[in-house]
Amino acid sequence: MTCKEAADWVKKNETSNELEDRMEEAISIQTQTYILTAHFAPLDFQPEDPNHLGEIETCNSLPSGSVRASQWVNGKKDGKRKPNQRFAFLYLHLDNADTANDILLRENIVICGKKCQVSRKAPAPIFCYHCQEKGHMSDRCPLKGESPICGQCGGPHRMNQCDNEEKVYCARCKTTDHASRDRTCPEYMRETKTMTSRQTIDNLPFFPTSNS
């Protein structure tokens, strides 16, 4: 498969969010990252700015380079779901289980001058980016022959083709309060909670270490 064919395949079969969900576990294993969720982090924080990651390390007395990456839980580049929103949930990728557990023991982390509660990231449930329902990926969707449902606006197109980012609609909840892709969707959060309760090791508040 050539680079162009690979790019066309990605555009045709998957949205970037679904690829992220499908590859997240493999990426975490390969780079040995341990993911924490920071609750209500200030939206002044810029996840892709190395200086902001370094500031987290300095303010919280963490080893240099221990915060490998970060991203807003809702998948938005700026973290906002509403125009006047000031805080959002943030994923922090730590390079070391001991460092991650140390933060969990403190129960909070300082981000842009604000103390934010932290928790271990819950395992992600499977949702289809074609029909937006749970339990299968888009390549196995029983409605594959029908028009897709956009995870952002609910229109009959793929999310990576959406040009209406201001509009939000959740096909599962039938509401304009949030988008289907939003990871704070009540149905998504319910499925996450159910999934976590079934997985003993993922339900632990701390990460297993070599000394565990």
- pLDDT (tens digit per residue) in 16-75: 444 444 444 333 334 567 899 999 999 999 998 999 999 999 999 999 999 999 999 887
Average pLDDT score over residue span 88-114: 94
Rg, the chain, Cα only = 18
Distance CA 124, CA 191 (A): 9
Domain ranges of the chain: 32-121, 123-202
CATH number for the domain whose boundaries are 32-121 = 3.30.70.330
Average pLDDT score over residue span 121-133: 83
CA atoms within 13 A on the CB side of 36: 31
In tens, the pLDDT along 172-189 reads 999 999 999 888 899 988
Residue 94's pLDDT band (boundaries 50, 70, 90)?
Answer: very high
pLDDT on residue 166: 85
Distance CA 77, CA 211 (A): 37
The mean predicted confidence, pLDDT, of the chain is 81
Which residues lie across from 60 on neighbouring strands? none
Written as one string, the DSSP assignment of 102-163 is HHHHHTEEEETTEEEEEEEPPPPPPB-TTT--BSS-GGG-TTTTSPP--TTT--SS-GGG--
- The fraction of the chain above a pLDDT of 70, given in percent, is 77
Enter the DSSP assignment of 81. S
pLDDT on residue 121: 83
Q: For residue 151, which of 31, 33, 45, 17 has the smallest C-alpha distance?
A: 17
pLDDT on residue 73: 87
pLDDT on residue 14: 40
Distance CA 201, CA 90 (A): 22
Average pLDDT score over residue span 101-106: 94
